[in-house]
Amino acid sequence: MKTVTRLALMCALALGGCTADYARQGNAPVLLLITAIEPTTMSSEVLQGGTICPDFARVTLANLSKNPNFILSGAPETVIVNRYEVSYFRSDGRSTQGVDVPYTISGTTNASVKMDVDAAVGVLVSIEVVRRQAKMEPPLVQLREGGGQAKVLTMQARITMYGQTIAGENVQASGTMQIDFADYVDQGATACPTS
């Protein structure tokens, strides 16, 4: 009898270790995913014809069931994405905000991401990934012509989208994109591009 009990306990422990990490994220039965960020590499102009402009990215979101054998459907699994955060990091490990990288920013959005079996089909959300203020502070202000020694500063932007299912369960998704900051040659445009 003791052997059967030990064997049952070992099997239970082994099966518990087989749970995928994504299945343990949050308390929702769904996963919010970032399936694409466009552009994947952004050339960010620190000063465009004397104007400081923000930069925008397009994030594609999908909503999938954590259990691939059980397809959920209906309103309770719909995710309402209501905010985002962008933080920056560099491959050389330097990451002091306001010195090596811009300060982390957050913003609001309002997108409804319904349950969808096909992750290739998603909801497109436009977000501001670099604010004007960041281009007026170190390290980006130092890239302006004559402002410093560096000509181009490359870093990664980690985008995290936050939301809730209609049932009130929290979900989030993260993705990264590369940004190359520089004082590029002006093409004569003085108006900032919109989202």
Q: What's the distance, CA 88 to chain centroid?
A: 11
Structure tokens at 21: 């990490």
CB atoms within 10 A of CB 148: 15
For residue 9, being part of any structural domain is answered with no
Which of 180, 178, 179, 183 shows the shortest CA–CA distance to 148?
183
Q: Looking at residue 20, what is its pLDDT?
A: 45
Q: Give domain status of residue 78, yes or no.
A: yes
Q: Total domain count for the chain?
A: 1
Per-residue pLDDT at 16: 54
Domain that holds residue 28: 22-182
Q: Cα–Cα distance between 76 and 99 in angstroms, integer?
A: 44
What residue ranges of the chain have pLDDT lower than 70?
A: 1-26, 70-74, 116-120, 146-150, 187-190
CA distance 88 to 124: 22
3-state SS, residue 143: helix
**Residue 118 confidence (pLDDT):** 60
Quick check: is 77 in a domain?
yes
- pLDDT of 123-157, one tens digit each? 999 999 999 999 999 999 999 875 556 689 999 99
The amino acid sitting at 160 is: T
| Site of tokens 């985002």 | 84
Cα–Cα distance between 139 and 17 in angstroms, integer? Answer: 45
Indicate the residue type of 73.
S
What is the rounded distance in angstroms from the CA atom of residue 113 to the CA atom of residue 80? 6
2 falls within a domain: no
Reduced to 3 states (helix: H, G, I; strand: E, B; else coil), residue 76 is: helix
pLDDT at 24: 45
CATH code, 142: 2.60.40
